[in-house]
Amino acid sequence: MKKWLKHKKSFLLVSSVFLLIIVISFLILFFQGPISSVQYLKSETEQLKIENDQLKEEIDGLRKDLAIKREHNDTIEHKKDTKKSELNDLHAQIESKRELINNLNEQIDNYKKQINQLEQKIEQKKNDNKAKTDPNGEKKVFLTFDDGPTSLTSSVLDILQKYDIPASFFVIGERMERKPKITQRAYNEGHMILPHSFTHEYSIYTSFDTFYKDFFLAEEAYRNTLQLEPPSIFRFPGGSSNHSSFEYGGEEFMPLLTEDVKDKGYVYVDWNVSSGDAGSNINDPTGMKNSIIKDSIDNDFIVLLFHDTGNNQALLEILPTVISYYKENDYTFRSFQDITDIELAEMKNRHIANKPINR
């Protein structure tokens, strides 16, 4: 019995140990899964932390890049604004330079005009004081009377007839029509009648149309009064270089018009000695005579200007004295009635006829 009990205790002991081993094994198996999961989660957590840190680093890097880009962009924008400002300044400088250039060009044009005027005056003086050029050594004077016929014309014709002197009358067309008999008398007594416009209004210089309308009316009046074709020689109201035209056609009108009338075959005639009876010497016989004599000294080819106007009584007073002066100084009196080609060429050479107008 004791032996059995002894074996029974051994068996129970072994059974208990075995059971304990089974329980421990079960517990080990039971807790092994969660422990592994926790370790996995810990491992994943560590990995996520690492990736998170990497992402933070990348974000920080991107932020830094963005800040650099923004700073670079700000720099570019500042440069653009600076360049725009510089460009605007350059445009302003260019406009200023253009304005300066325009002003300088205007000054240059003014200087050119002044130079041309001075050159014309010098050339005129040279011509006025030119030594004798006539092949025969003959001195000549053409007496010309503008703006008739008037109440004065008959008295002028009487003086010319008394001294047997030929002359030339540049007449106004509408006055020819009003005084045809005195015009015919002048022509019949051997004087030349030439056109001097129809109205003598300076507004004819507004345009080519206004000029030629008046000019052709003057030619028609010539035909109707004298029953003759008008000559190709005429005189502009105020002369070819007049300034009265400035108010109407401008400063460049006469240079253009003079070229046009020459192209049409006309010859315009001015003068190189003036009595001044329409200007400073009006009603001043002594002043008129002195001006004529002063400009006639050393001048062998003269086209003398008088004005045949009703109030010019001083003309009647000095005309015999002027005629005597030229006779005493061996001048031949000529008129456009029988002007020669050589004489007309001499007038052009001295810029008395077809004078170039440069402004």
On whether residue 25 sits in a domain, the answer given is: no
Question: Residue 215: is its pLDDT beyond 50?
Answer: yes
pLDDT confidence of 13, banded at 50, 70, 90? Answer: low
Q: Which of 19-33, 139-153, 168-182, 247-261 has the lowest mean pLDDT?
A: 19-33
pLDDT confidence of 134, banded at 50, 70, 90? Answer: very low
What average pLDDT does the chain have? 87
Report pLDDT for 70. Answer: 81
DSSP 307: E
Q: Which residue has the tokens 């149309």?
A: 209
Question: Residue 35: is its pLDDT beyond 80?
Answer: no
Report pLDDT for 135. Answer: 46
Question: Residue 223: is its pLDDT beyond 90?
Answer: yes
SS3 content of the chain, % helix, strand, coil (to 5): 65, 10, 25
Q: Which of 87-96, 123-132, 181-190, 328-337 has the lowest mean pLDDT?
A: 123-132
Cα–Cα distance between 233 and 252 in angstroms, integer?
23
On whether residue 114 sits in a domain, the answer given is: no
- Does 149 sit behind a cis peptide bond, omega within 30 degrees of 0 on the bond before it? yes
How would you write 320-334 as a 3-class SS string? HHHHHHHHHCCEEEE
Report pLDDT for 131. Answer: 41
**What CATH number should be reported for the domain holding residue 316?**
3.20.20.370
DSSP 139: E
On whether residue 326 sits in a domain, the answer given is: yes
Question: Residue 2: is its pLDDT beyond 90?
Answer: no
Report pLDDT for 103. Answer: 83
pLDDT tens digit sequence for 61-119: 888 888 888 888 778 878 888 888 888 888 888 888 888 888 888 888 888 888 877 77
Give strand ranges (E) for 73-148. 139-148
Cα–Cα distance between 171 and 183 in angstroms, integer?
9
- Top pLDDT among 59 and 157 is at 157
- Top pLDDT among 12 and 57 is at 57
| Most confident segment among 37-41, 122-126, 177-181, 274-278 | 177-181
Q: Do the beta carbons of residue 166 and residue 335 sit within 8 Å?
A: yes
Q: Do the beta carbons of residue 245 and residue 238 sit within 8 Å?
A: yes
Q: Which of 62-71, 123-132, 146-155, 156-165 has the lowest mean pLDDT?
A: 123-132
Q: What average pLDDT does range 136-155 have in this prediction? A: 94
On whether residue 112 sits in a domain, the answer given is: no
On whether residue 36 sits in a domain, the answer given is: no
On whether residue 152 sits in a domain, the answer given is: yes
Percent of the chain with pLDDT over 70: 86
Q: Exposed (0-12), middle (13-18) or buried (19+): which is 92, by Cβ within 10 Å?
A: exposed
Report pLDDT for 37. Answer: 61
- Top pLDDT among 54 and 224 is at 224
Q: Tally the domains of the chain.
A: 1
Report pLDDT for 20. Answer: 72
For residue 237, the enclosing domain spans 138-349
On whether residue 206 sits in a domain, the answer given is: yes
pLDDT tens digit sequence for 229-258: 999 999 999 999 999 999 999 999 999 999
Question: Residue 128: is its pLDDT beyond 60?
Answer: no
pTM of the predicted structure, to 2 decimals: 0.64
Copy the structure tokens of residue 119.
Answer: 């050159």
Considering only CA atoms, which of 355, 327, 358, 359 is closest in space to residue 128? 355
Question: Residue 41: is its pLDDT beyond 90?
Answer: no
Copy the structure tokens of residue 90.
Answer: 């350059």
On whether residue 125 sits in a domain, the answer given is: no
